[in-house]
Amino acid sequence: MTRRGLALAGAVVIAALLAFPLRETIHEAIVVPAAYLLWALGLLYRSLSQGIWWVILAVMVIWILARSLSPPLRPAGKILARARPVRGKVEDLAGWLNKSRDGIYFKWLVANRLGKLAYQILLQRGNGKPRSVFEPLTGPDWDPTTNLQNYLQSGLQRSFADFPNPRKFLASPAKTPLDLNVDEAVDFLELQIDHLHPR
């Protein structure tokens, strides 16, 4: 039985055990006020003629139609809020870098973007030769450190869900290939781009 099923069964058992001793309290607190409210509403309904109820219903329908069909009214002189400017890829990457301390997802987003860049560099070096994203990131003059290679391939070929990072109380999070200093990856990729397009 699942945990949810056990919790539901426990709640039913507790409710059954409390139902008999608390029946008087439930009767006084819930049943009597609900019965009184229904009796008062029935009395109100019978005290007014059907014509009045039809008028009330027609007024409500007309009011709802008028609200839904009328254009929204803006107060005169109210300044409309400016739309937020569209964020570019560099701004997105900077935002992910800032949030990368908050968890594995943003670390993976940064690694994924840099892994895609590494893939594009190797694709251009192959002169348009087809290359699978799941091939190892290798090529001529491609000599990253083992940690950097793992970082780039993990970002490109794996998902953030492959790196569970539970935060236990007073315990440091488990190490993953995504914990590499991003500066090392950026410096390496800049060097590779310079080799691709010498100045």
pLDDT digits (tens, 9 = 90+) for 141-178: 888 889 988 888 888 888 888 877 655 555 566 788 88
Q: How far is CA 137 from CA 109, 111, 113, 125, in A?
A: 18, 14, 14, 12
Average pLDDT, integer, range 121-138: 80
Tell me how far apart the alpha carbons of residues 196 and 184 are, in angstroms, rounded to a whole number. Answer: 19
Environment class of residue 138 by beta-carbon count within 10 Å: exposed (0-12), middle (13-18) or buried (19+)? exposed
Question: Angle formed by the axes of helices 104-125 and 146-157, to 10°?
Answer: 100
The pLDDT value recorded for residue 38 is 92
Residue range 50-90, pLDDT digits in tens:
888 899 999 999 999 888 887 766 655 555 567 676 666 66
pTM over 0.85: no
Cβ neighbours of residue 124 under 8 Å, at least 6 residues apart?
196
